[in-house]
Amino acid sequence: MAIQIKASVRNAGGKGAARSIRKNKNVPGVIYGEKKAPVAIELNGRDFETLLQTPSLRTKLFEIDTENGKEDAMLMDIQYHPVSDNVVHVDFKRIDVKKPVNVSVPVEVINADVSKGLKLGGVLNFAVRKVALRGLVHDIPEKITIDLTNLNIGESVHGSDLVLPDGVELGLHQAELAFAIIGGKMPDEADSARPVSAPAAAAPAVSDEAKK
């Protein structure tokens, strides 16, 4: 379901107009793309700050309601003030909901506490934490999970092993990436690698003559 927000169209552009908007505790922004002219907008600052608490916001479809009509878009960039950390500008890109989009979503590992390999003493290397996906915006998941339950020492999960929703495919060069690896040695391998202590030398036999 799309996130619905209201925005006012800004007729004046430039840094001065943007500063005036921020002085009123609102957020300047722009909607661009789909071979249409960019539209400068103003968002309610308090509402947008609340919206920022939404997980995986950049994978969501936005329906932006302006006095010129509604725009389907995705959030592409948020600029923050270097000192106050307040939002100073946001960029939205128009999309056609009937066409695939390219999106990066977070990857999450689950069931580490019952993982075969980790219980045997292996070490998890969670190497790649985002995956590039392609699909219709309504089909793109908020995140992809990797189940570690049956992953053993020496095994890994590549992009081609990820479980994706119907209609969603991996982006370019993602299939070969190793997203999670359990490193280490199996217990029997670790035992065999330990040096074997030499048996203690037998005490030399003492002759009857030496005993006298």
The β-bridge relationship of strands 156-158 and 130-135 is unpaired
pLDDT at 212: 47
Question: How do the domains of the chain map onto residue ranges?
Answer: 3-94, 101-193
pLDDT at 48: 94
pLDDT at 1: 78
Tell me whether the CATH fold assigned to 3-94 matches the one assigned to 101-193: no
Residue 92 neighbours by CB distance under 10 Å: 25
**Domain 101-193 classified CATH 2.60.120.10?**
no
Residue 136 CA to residue 171 CA, distance in Å, equals 13
CATH topology assigned to domain 3-94: Ribosomal Protein L25; Chain P (2.40.240)
pLDDT at 124: 97
pLDDT means per 10 residues in the chain (212 residues)?
92 74 91 94 94 91 95 96 92 96 96 96 95 96 96 97 96 96 80 54 51 48
What is the pTM for the complete model shown?
Answer: 0.77
Residue 28 CA to residue 7 CA, distance in Å, equals 10
pLDDT at 14: 67
